[in-house]
């Protein structure tokens, strides 16, 4: 309940910060017994959709669109995943990547929350099609970003030309920060998983904390520094391995 009308949420043409006090739940095609909060979408200017599916026990999720691939990360609860003849049981911090040609069904075994990233797949001449990936984030071996041991990156998807998206986690010890103000063609969708700090987006500096979502458009200048006494960690999407010239053809 807001008595003041104040919020940290801010939506601008080249970036957005979305804080949990402003989230609005709605149903989404393909999901049953689930309330979805669409954080990032084409309506905002993004080339992908990032949302949280809050599933009641027994709730399901399937793909309702052609040619759209999906990445899903379990934030809370237990979720079954059926894809082809394979069955998986996903726990918190487990994730799955479903290519656009892989009909699948998530079923919540308990009340559960999934972070979902849906994006049209862009095939690449000469490259294979991507395959299903199921994994557990804590089991991945991290690498230090540009040799900085205070900033550890875990890559959840294979770095292969067939994949046109990357989803990583980045963990910062308190005081760690991005080495420079990045400005790049790739766009980002981000969920703060733990801790907090200051995110610079374009010409503004925002205090951010666990639960916040950020969208960064192509070329949005960006920098993060971790504050507090515990690590700050986020999950971050970016588009990779493609030209953007197709849209001009
Ligand atoms: O992969 C990235 O571009 C990443 N370093 N960006 C970010 O953390 N804002
Ligand atoms: Mn970046």
**Which of 137, 152, 172 delimits the end of a domain?**
137
Distance 2 CA to ligand 1 centre (A): 33
Give the model confidence (pLDDT) of 131-184 as tens digits: 999 999 999 999 999 999 999 999 999 999 999 999 999 999 999 999 999 999
145 CA closest ligand 1 atom index: 5
Q: Are 163 and 90 within one domain?
A: no
Distance 181 CA to ligand 2 centre (A): 9
The ligand that comes nearest to the alpha carbon of residue 237 is 1
The pLDDT confidence band at residue 249, using thresholds 50, 70 and 90, is: confident
| Ligand 1 touching residue 153 (CB < 6 A) | no
Q: How confident is the model at residue 231 (pLDDT cuts 50, 70, 90)?
A: very high
Ion ligand 2 — residues with CB < 5 Å: 182
For all residues of the chain together, what is the average pLDDT? Answer: 97
Please check the confidence at residue 247 and state whether its pLDDT lies above 80. Answer: no
Q: Give the pLDDT band of residue 221 (cuts 50, 70, 90).
A: very high
Query: Is residue 182 in contact with ligand 1, taking CB distance under 6 Å?
Result: yes
Backbone angles phi, psi at 177, to 5 degrees: -155, 160
Tell me the ligand closest to 219's alpha carbon. 2
Structure tokens at 99: 């290519």
Residue 209's beta-bridge partner residues? 196
Give the pLDDT score at 205: 98
Last residue in a domain, options 70, 104, 137: 137
pLDDT over 90 for what percent of the chain? 96
Residue with tokens 């609005």: 24
Residue nearest to atom 9 of ligand 1 (CA): 222
- Under 8 Å CB-to-CB from 20, ≥6 apart: which residues? 211, 212
End-to-end CA distance of the chain: 49
Kindly state whether residues 147 and 202 are assigned to the same domain: yes
Instruction: Indicate the pLDDT class of residue 101, thresholds 50, 70 and 90.
Output: confident
Q: Token digits for 240?
A: 């990779």
In whole angstroms, give the CA distance from residue 106 to residue 154. Answer: 24
C-alpha count within 13 angstroms, C-beta hemisphere, residue 181: 11
Q: pLDDT tens across 35-75, in order?
A: 999 999 999 999 999 999 999 999 999 999 999 999 999 99
Query: Looking at the predicted structure, is the pLDDT value of residue 216 above 90?
Result: yes
Residue 116's CATH number: 2.60.120.10
**Lookup: tokens for 64:** 């309702």
Domains in the chain, number = 2
Residue finishing a domain among 108, 137, 166: 137
Looking at the chain, the whole-number percentage of residues with pLDDT higher than 70 is 100
Q: How far is the CA of 9 from the centre of ligand 2 (A)?
A: 20
- CB of 170 closer than 6 A to ligand 1? yes
| 222 Cβ inside 6 Å of ligand 1 | yes
CA of 104 to the centre of ligand 2 (A): 30
Residues 27 and 133 in one domain: yes
Q: What is the pLDDT of residue 1?
A: 82
Torsion of CA 177, 180, 186, 190, to 10 degrees: 20
Same domain, residue pair 153 and 243: yes
User: What sign results for the dihedral spanned by CA atoms 179, 15, 214, 62?
Assistant: negative
């Amino acid at each position: 309940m807001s008595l003041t009308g104040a919020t940290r949420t801010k939506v601008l043409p080249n970036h957005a910060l979305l804080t949990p006090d402003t989230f609005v739940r709605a149903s989404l095609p393909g999901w049953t017994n689930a309330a979805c909060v669409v954080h990032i979408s084409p309506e905002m200017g993004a080339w992908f959709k990032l949302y949280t599916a809050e599933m009641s026990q027994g709730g399901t999720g399937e793909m309702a669109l052609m040619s759209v691939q999906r990445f899903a990360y379990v934030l809370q609860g237990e979720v079954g995943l059926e894809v082809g003849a394979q069955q998986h049981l996903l726990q918190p911090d487990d994730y799955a990547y479903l290519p656009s040609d892989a009909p699948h069904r998530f079923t919540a075994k308990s009340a559960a929350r999934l972070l979902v990233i849906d994006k049209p797949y862009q095939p690449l001449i000469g490259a294979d099609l991507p395959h299903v990936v199921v994994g557990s984030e804590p089991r991945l071996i991290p690498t230090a970003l540009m040799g900085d041991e205070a900033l550890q990156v875990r890559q959840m998807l294979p770095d292969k030309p067939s994949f046109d998206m990357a989803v990583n986690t980045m963990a910062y010890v308190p005081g760690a920060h991005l080495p420079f103000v990045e400005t790049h063609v790739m766009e980002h969708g981000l969920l703060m998983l733990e801790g907090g700090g200051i995110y610079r987006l374009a010409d503004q500096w925002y205090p951010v904390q666990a639960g916040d979502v950020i969208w960064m458009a192509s070329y949005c200048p960006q920098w993060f520094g971790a504050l507090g006494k515990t690590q700050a960690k986020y999950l971050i999407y970016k588009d990779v391995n493609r030209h953007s010239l197709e849209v001009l053809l």
